[in-house]
Amino acid sequence: MTKRKPVVIISRKLPDVVETRMRELFDTRLNESDEPMSQSALIEATKTAEVLVPTVTDKIDKAVIMQAGDQLKLIANFGTGVDNIDVEAASNRGITVTNTPGVLTEDTADMTMALILAVARRVIEGANTIGDENVWKGWSPTWMLGHRIYGKRLGIVGMGRIGQAVARRAKAFGLQIHYHNRKRVHSTIEEELEATYWDSLPQMLARVDVVSVNCPHTPGTYHLLSAGLLKLMKPTAIIVNTARGEIIDENALTRMLEAGELGGVGLDVFEHEPAVNKKLLKNPRAVLLPHMGSATIEGRIDMGEKVIINIKTFTDGHTPPDRVLPSMV
Ligand code: 8YV
């Protein structure tokens, strides 16, 4: 007797190879249009799905989870951050949550370096002058000068997988590694990275030249970089965020940038994504990207593979490898 395939609803379009494999394994319902699902469409989906595959653009909050049908047993997030899901509410209803850690580490760290370099060396500003002979009239010794990153201090906020991958790259670029984390990392990692641990985030922020935000967004990290803490930073400092917009008070950041109290910002994520503070858009010292830190085809396929493994393991009656427990968020 062949086993009935579980109904899996995917909220967004995924790479073809991932969708094909999911259709082979599961009774998969795709979103061909790739239009983000509304809250009512999500609630509707939870009435039939045994497994829901959401992404960062889907808000699986308590209201959605409370209205889900009893057949919904797994929320297999296509993404590492689970701040889009009320994990506690899911757990209370006996719904398992999984994510896709590890496979987007290197891509996100690459994008972090790209932003650090883009801000410090004014890459976008420079590129935008090409072709306009009124602006770029030819080489000049004092025009379009940025700042050297070699020898500067980088402060990493959140020294998990991505933070460490950023540190490895940054060390190769000659940056000195400083970090703040809830827990100090193992001494072998500190030694490899020649990293200095700061128990106090304010003290670290006051001393570094570049800050990279690499921690997850949880209730505890919401506005971790508050107006008060941002004020402690050097007026020449650069802040780069490839984690989640909510970790920085975006209005305070914008105000400081406008007032010349910060050297520049590189943001891949925003507090009210996809909305971006209008004043940030106009600021030449802000390099802004549309949440593309993990946007490589290899990364997306690996994420899909992780989702498949989580679903398959779960529906075969085992604990999925990337289970997220309420105590982890
Ligand atoms: C993903 C991310 O693209 O995985 C994450 O946490 O921030 C992104 O890189 C997105 O979350 C997919 O849902």
Could you give the number of structural domains in the chain? 2
Q: Are residues 263 and 311 in the same domain?
A: no
Residue with the smallest CA separation from ligand 1 atom 3 is 294
Are the beta carbons of 51 and 7 closer than 8 angstroms? yes
The vertex-57 CA angle with 87 and 88, nearest 5°, equals: 5
pLDDT tens, residue by residue, 153-207: 999 999 999 999 999 999 999 999 999 999 999 999 999 999 999 999 999 999 9
SS3 category, 155: strand
Tell me, yes or no, whether 272 and 302 share the same domain. no
Report the CATH number that the domain containing residue 230 is assigned in CATH. 3.40.50.720
User: Whose CA is closest to 77, among 269, 311, 329?
Assistant: 311
> What whole-number distance in Å separates Cα of residue 14 and Cα of residue 300?
8
Kindly state if the Cβ of 80 falls inside 6 Å of ligand 1.
Answer: yes
Q: Are residues 28 and 174 in the same domain?
A: no
Residues 197 and 233 in one domain: yes
Domain of residue 314 covers 7-102+297-328
- Check pocket membership of 56 for ligand 1, CB cut-off 6 A: yes
In the chain the first and final C-alpha atoms are separated, in Å, by 41
The rounded distance, in Å, linking the Cα atoms of 5 and 49 is 12
266 found inside a domain = yes
41 vs 11, 46, 60, 250, 289, CA distance in Å? 9, 9, 11, 30, 28
**pLDDT band per the 50, 70, 90 thresholds, residue 2:** low
Q: Are residues 175 and 218 in the same domain?
A: yes
The SS3 call for residue 197 is strand
At 1 the pLDDT is 55
pLDDT digits (tens, 9 = 90+) for 114-166: 999 999 999 999 999 999 989 999 999 999 999 999 999 999 999 999 999 99
- Looking at the domain assignment, is residue 52 inside a domain? yes
98, 121: one domain: no
Which one-letter amino acid corresponds to residue 153? R
The DSSP string of 37-88 is PPHHHHHHHTTT-SEEE--TT--B-HHHHHHS-TT--EEE-SSS--TTB-HH
The verdict on 109 and 216 lying in the same domain is: yes
Pair 178, 279 in one domain? yes
Ligand 1 atom closest to the Cα of residue 108 is: 9
* Dihedrals phi, psi of 15, to nearest 5 degrees: -55, 145
- Residue 1 lies inside a defined structural domain of this protein: no
Using the mean position of ligand 1's atoms as its centre, give its distance from the Cα of residue 68 in Å. Answer: 24
Task: Average the pLDDT over 47-72 and give the result.
Answer: 97
The preferred substitution site among 80, 296, 301 for testing ligand 1, maximizing ligand atoms within 8 Å of CB, is: 80
64 and 155, same domain (yes or no):
no
Pick the closest to residue 112 from 303, 304, 287 (CA basis).
Answer: 287
| Residue 86 and residue 120 share a domain | no
Query: Which residues is 52 bridged to in the sheet?
Result: 9, 75
| Predicted TM-score of the model (pTM) | 0.96
Nearest C-alpha neighbor of 240 from the set 206, 264, 220: 264
**Separation of alpha carbons 105 and 160, rounded Å:** 10
State whether 34 and 126 are in the same domain: no
Say yes or no: 134 and 216 in one domain.
yes
Residue 170 in any domain: the answer is yes
| Within a domain: 42 | yes
